[in-house]
Homo-oligomer: A and B are copies of this chain.
Amino acid sequence: MPNFAIIGSGAMGSAVAKRLIDHGATVLTYLEGRSEQTIVRAKAAGMVPVGHQELTKAELILSIVPPAQAIKVAGLVADISSEMQAPPPFIDLNAIAPKTMQALAARFEGSGIEVLDGAIIGGPPVPGKSGPTIYISGDTAERSRLLEDCGLRIRRLDGPLGAASALKMCYAGINKGFTGLGTAMLLAASRSGAAESLKAELSDSLPDVDRKLSRSIPDMYPKAYRWVAEMQEIADFLGDDDPAATIFRGMADLFARMAGDVEGSRVLVGRLDEIIASSGTEN
């Protein structure tokens, strides 16, 4: 019996598959209609392409796709599992808001299929390194132990369905939000002729912050366009009752401006690079 099916063989999906396969597992996937690049990557990872229906032969079905596709994938799994006696549990590992996770779970109501909420924090697993942490909430039957046994780092949360998704939102809010704060303030300092002094003061009195921003701001440029939607998702997650929702609506606008600059004149990128490269010393 094959161990796993993974729907989605992007950078994360195929790397997770490879980690499982390296630990002796079989990983099924569905590739019909996918790009040549995706097919090549999935096969290179050792994933086994099968038809829709065969995905249900796995002991666990995982979804690792872009957030916008999460609900559609769940619908597919609900369809193919609907006629089965003992369908495999389904774990959504996508970066979706807890409310979206609840809507997703609703697709399975009355089907007898166990649905779990997961979230991946960290980059794709790389051979020889421990890799990301996968959080799973509501896993009272410890379905995720199978993944743990195959080399993945799993943490189970006691919280309700949606808790893992919430965790991912909160982590991103701190981590990416911090990059946003730094971006905004370095640009503002630059407009006021205070950028080099700000850099010097940060490197002096907050060296951790200085190091982190010097790395995370350039890393953000190519991702800024994706972060716009992520920040809006965090704002929605917080809800209108939470004053912090406004913070993330502002973050979304800030990253939208950055994304426009990255694709366009790169004036802001140039200014940020210059500040980050500066020794940060003043007369």
Contact = CB atoms under 8 A, between A and B. Distances in A.
Interface in A245-283: 245-251, 253-254, 256-257, 282-283
A198 B121 CA distance: 10
Interface of A: 98, 121-122, 133, 135, 137, 155-160, 162-164, 166-167, 169-171, 173-175, 177-178, 180-182, 184-189, 192-194, 197-198, 200-202, 204-206, 208-209, 212-213, 237-238, 242-251, 253-254, 256-257, 282-283
17 contacts: A133-B204, A155-B200, A157-B193, A159-B193, A162-B192, A163-B194, A163-B197, A166-B189, A166-B193, A170-B194, A173-B181, A174-B209, A174-B213, A175-B206, A188-B237, A243-B250, A244-B254
Give me the 6 closest cross-chain CB pairs, A-B, nearest first.
A159-B193, A246-B250, A243-B253, A166-B192, A184-B244, A247-B250
B197 A155 contact: yes
A208 B175 CA distance: 12
Given A156-B283, A193-B163, A171 B247 contact: no
Given A158-B283, A256-B243, A283-B156, A178 B180 contact: no
A237 B192 CA distance: 10
A71 to B, nearest CB: 20
Contacts of A170: 185-186, 188-189, 192, 194, 198
A164 B186 CA distance: 14
Nearest to A252: B243
Contacts of A242: 184, 187-188
